[in-house]
Amino acid sequence: MVNAIPASFAPAVSESPLVKRLLIGVSVLFLGVFLLVPLGCVFAIAFGHGIAAYLASFHDPDTLSSIRLTLLAAGIAVPCNLVFGVAAAWAIGKFEFFGKSLLISLVDLPFSISPVVAGLTYVLLFGSHGWFGGWLSAHNVQIIFAVPGIVLATTFVTFPFVARELLPMMSAQGNDEEEAALTLGAGGWQTFLKVTLPNVKWALLYGVILCNARAMGEFGAVSVVSGHIRGLTNTMPLQIEVLYNDYQFVPAFAVASLLALLALATLVVKSAVEWRSAVLERGTK
């Protein structure tokens, strides 16, 4: 310890400035090398040949159709999981019943499954050799190597996000306010909209944002069910792979830069929600 006062008089409850600077230095270096450099790399290569080349990347019809498909898949998967998340959080958060903790584990299950395995499970159900494959082809319905499979795979991997954010909030709020509203004559739906929803709206927003970021960025599960048909079943992450493997680096990183911006926007919203809940917590104390 490099203290002016002998250690016996001044208990060492903080590190010497030298150690402090060293620890900060190592941390910043680690975060810089692993986070800032890859992030910077995406934009540096996307704009490496000028803004005109960057914008030209988005004239490719296959790229445009991949953007449309990603928006479509997220546009279906996120609302479905939002409705599920609210229903699951209401059932689990507001009531006591047998098997509750098992149900919570099952809701979390898709988080711990490799996305490739998730994609495979749908191939086994709906693929041409799968359980429903015969019936589906007899009725001319294609799910695997088509848009419905991509939507299903996206729904699977983003399944728990909204429920997981809402559940702790709903159970922490308790039932008192809802019971008061119901006693005063409010209907169930009215109680949910006017009492429950305002209490959990930030957690809900946060869950939806996370769900959306993952839905638009999912790679492994979608890759297995997509079949990689250019212009038809490639989402943005799959289009990045196609372009990158074709050595079209500027277009690949241009598409990647859109997803990186989405990631940054997600982090901004996350910080804002956390800051807000910290302010609210301080306010109630």
Partner 1 sequence: MRKSIIPGFGLTLGFTLCYLSLIVLLPLAATFVETSKIGWPAFWHIVTAPRALAAYGLSFGASLVGAAINFVLGTLVAWVLVRYHFPFKRLLDSLVDLPFALPTAVAGIALTTIYAPNGLFGRPLAELGIHVAFTRLGIVVALTFIGLPFVVRTVQPVLEDLDRELEEAAASLGAGRWQTFARVVYPAIAPAAITGFALAFARGVGEYGSVIFIAGNMPMRTEIAPLLIVTKLEEYDYSGATAIATVMLLISFALLVGINGLQRWGGGRAESDAKEEPAMRPAFGLGG
Task: State which of positions 71-130 bind partner 1 (CB under 8 A).
Answer: 80, 83-84, 87-88, 90-92, 94-97, 103, 105-118, 120-125, 127, 129-130
Helix axes 161-173, 61-94, angle to 10 degrees: 30
51 and 255 Cβ atoms separated by less than 8 Å: no
In the complex, the smallest distance separating the C-beta of residue 194 from partner 1, rounded to whole angstroms, is: 14
Rounded Cα distance between 184 and 221, Å, is: 48
DSSP strand E in 91-163: where?
none
137 touches partner 1 (CB under 8 A): no
37 touches partner 1 (CB under 8 A): yes
In the complex, the smallest distance separating the C-beta of residue 52 from partner 1, rounded to whole angstroms, is: 22
41 touches partner 1 (CB under 8 A): yes
35 touches partner 1 (CB under 8 A): yes
In the complex, the smallest distance separating the C-beta of residue 28 from partner 1, rounded to whole angstroms, is: 7
Per the listing, tokens 């729904």 go with: 155
Choices 49-57, 59-67, 134-142, 257-265; region in contact with partner 1 by CB under 8 A: 257-265
Q: Transcribe 49-66 into DSSP letters.
A: THHHHHHHGGG-HHHHHH
Q: Judged by CB under 8 A, which of 2, 4, 8, 61 binds partner 1?
A: 8
Choices 50-58, 60-68, 135-143, 267-275; region in contact with partner 1 by CB under 8 A: 267-275
Choices 14-22, 54-62, 134-142; region in contact with partner 1 by CB under 8 A: 14-22
**Angle at Cα 271 formed by Cα 256 and Cα 28, nearest 5°?**
70
141 touches partner 1 (CB under 8 A): no
**Size (the chain), residues:** 285
- Residues in 145-184 that interact with partner 1 by CB under 8 A: 152, 155-157, 159-161, 164-165, 168-169, 172, 175, 178-179, 182-183
Instruction: Using the minimum distance from each CB to partner 1, give the nearer residue, 130 or 231.
Output: 130
Choices 49-57, 60-68, 135-143, 207-215; region in contact with partner 1 by CB under 8 A: 207-215
Rounded Cα distance between 46 and 279, Å, is: 38
Choices 52-60, 61-69, 134-142, 219-227; region in contact with partner 1 by CB under 8 A: 219-227
How many residues at the interface with partner 1, by CB under 8 A?
Answer: 118
C-alpha separations of 22 from 11, 14, 15, 19, 96 in Å: 21, 14, 10, 5, 51
Percent helix, strand, coil in the chain (nearest 5)?
Answer: 75, 0, 25
Per the listing, tokens 């016996």 go with: 8
67 touches partner 1 (CB under 8 A): no
C-alpha separations of 197 from 154, 171, 202, 249, 275 in Å: 26, 13, 9, 45, 20
267 touches partner 1 (CB under 8 A): yes
